[in-house]
Amino acid sequence: QVSFVSLLPSDKVLNIAHRGASGHAPEHTLIAYDLAEKMNADYLEIDLHMTADHQLVAIHDEDVGRTTNGVGFVSDLTLAELKELDAGTWFNQAYPELANPDFIGVTIPTLAEIFELFGLDSDYYIELKDPDDEMIDAFLTVLNKYDLLEADKVIIQSFSQKALTNIHAQYDEIPLIQLLSKSKTKSANYKKIRQYAAGVGLPFQTLDKAFIEKIQGNGLHVHAFTVNETEDMERLIDWGIDGIFTNYPDRLADVLW
Ligand code: G3P
Ligand code: CA
């Protein structure tokens, strides 16, 4: 088994900026990613969906309604249509105390735009949302175009075991993280997951010290999502967690300092 030491070091807790520094700026915007870098995050967490014209874009929901001024599913809209949308103003309205005029009118970034901007200076922790084979192929093509696989810059995560095993069969040198929802964490077969994945991502509320150690005993890294309160971060670190997804990479950086 490949150990992925550079991407998954065993001697530090990874600070994974969930949707960028999304506690401070509108999630999945270049501003939120840039802020995460400035806050010393180790990884930019990116959720991907595919547009009607087969472009990969960073957005969490399958529907644009929550985080833009548009309506409809990403998969029904072309990239040109998505680029018309304002992906920042919703944040100013939802969080007036954090509102910033710079957020107004920012657009949904494509994966290529993110790589163009941050390149090999950043590390990426990318989630494929509802991926079919076509999306996986498109994704691997973009990664290769920007030389990110060779440079050891990308961890891939998904709730879809099928997608992860598909990728593992093509590229066993990419570290994969199997995400598990709350109802699956106890019944999951961690030995089987270890056959294709380097680790698991679990809701932090399902974890305790013994459970983390049990999963680690199967040779898997354990990453917890989504942890925003300092005391929860401290407790998980105390229990031996390997990585933490947070909307506040600045808070986690302070705890880890
Ligand atoms: O990817 C880890 C965590 O982000 C999974 O939940 O819904 O925020 O993508 P979600
Ligand atoms: Ca995610």
Measure 126 CA to ligand 1 centroid, in angstroms: 10
pLDDT at 5 over 90: no
Residue nearest to atom 3 of ligand 1 (CA): 225
In whole angstroms, what is the distance from residue 213 CA to residue 207 CA? 10
Residue ranges with CB less than 5 Å from ion ligand 2: 47, 127
Q: What percent of the chain has pLDDT over 90?
A: 95
125 Cβ below 6 A of ligand 1: no
Measure 60 CA to ligand 1 centroid, in angstroms: 8
Confidence band of 1 (pLDDT split at 50, 70, 90)? low
What fold does the segment set 14-256 form as a domain?
Answer: TIM Barrel (3.20.20)
Which of the residues 28, 60, 221, 223 is marked catalytic? 60
Q: Express each pLDDT in 158-189 by its tens digit.
A: 999 999 999 999 999 999 999 999 999 999 99
pLDDT at 61 over 90: yes
- What residue ranges do the domains of the chain occupy? 14-256
**Tokens 């309205």 found at:** 93
Give ∠ CA 208-214-216 in degrees, rounded to 5: 100
By the 8 A CB rule, do 29 and 88 touch?
yes
ipTM for the whole predicted complex goes beyond 0.90? yes
Which ligand approaches the C-alpha of residue 155 most closely? 1
In whole angstroms, what is the distance from residue 215 CA to residue 213 CA? 5
- Does 18 participate in catalysis according to the annotation? yes
